[in-house]
Structure 1
Amino acid sequence: MELVTQTTLQKIVNEYEERTALKFKPDERFYERIEINPKRFWQLVKGKKRPTYDEAVNLTKYFDLPLTDLF
């Protein structure tokens, strides 16, 4: 049996869905607001890349979390 671990950003997205009772479906406005393109965002979610400081700030502002939650 393979153990699947979630990245911190995956957990944040899941918690956002639970908190809002909405399925997270990012649109163009989302990407403009966080200043990250779709490809880069999903690389961050999947843990293939690490966010820069500015990306982390923008993500935590959007998800209304303290910056320390992303690191």
Structure 2
Amino acid sequence: MKATTPNPVADAFTAYQDKIGIAFKPDQRFYDRVGINRKRFGQVFRGEKPLMSYEVKALSEFLGVPVEDLI
């Protein structure tokens, strides 16, 4: 069994989906708005790569969560 590690980005997206009441599937408009391409976002979402500072800011603004929640 693979050990799970905390993933603040995935947790923030789960909270965002709960808040809006539907499953959110990122599309090109989302990627353009946050300035993260699809491949990079997938790596960040799965916890394979750390967020860059500009990505933290953009995701924080999009999701409406404090920056600290994504770190």
Unaligned runs of 5+ residues in structure 2 are none
Correspondence for 1:57: 57
Matching residue's letter, 1:55: E
Query: After the TM superposition, which segments of 4 or more aligned residues of structure 1 sit over 2 Å from their partners?
Result: 1-6
How much has 1:4 moved relative to structure 2? 3.5
| Correspondence list, 1:17-56, <5 A | 17-56=17-56
Unaligned runs of 5+ residues in structure 1 are none
Deviations 1:17-71 (Å, cap 9, x if unpaired)? 1111110100110000000000000100111000100010000000011111111
Task: Please give the secondary structure, in 1, of the residue aligned with 2:33.
Answer: helix
How much has 1:12 moved relative to structure 2? 0.6
Correspondence for 1:12: 12
State the Cα RMSD in Å. Answer: 1.3
Instruction: Rate the CA distance shift 1:6–1:23 in 2: closer, same or farther, 3 A.
Output: farther
TM-score (norm 2): 0.91
Q: Percent of aligned positions with the same letter in both sequences?
A: 34
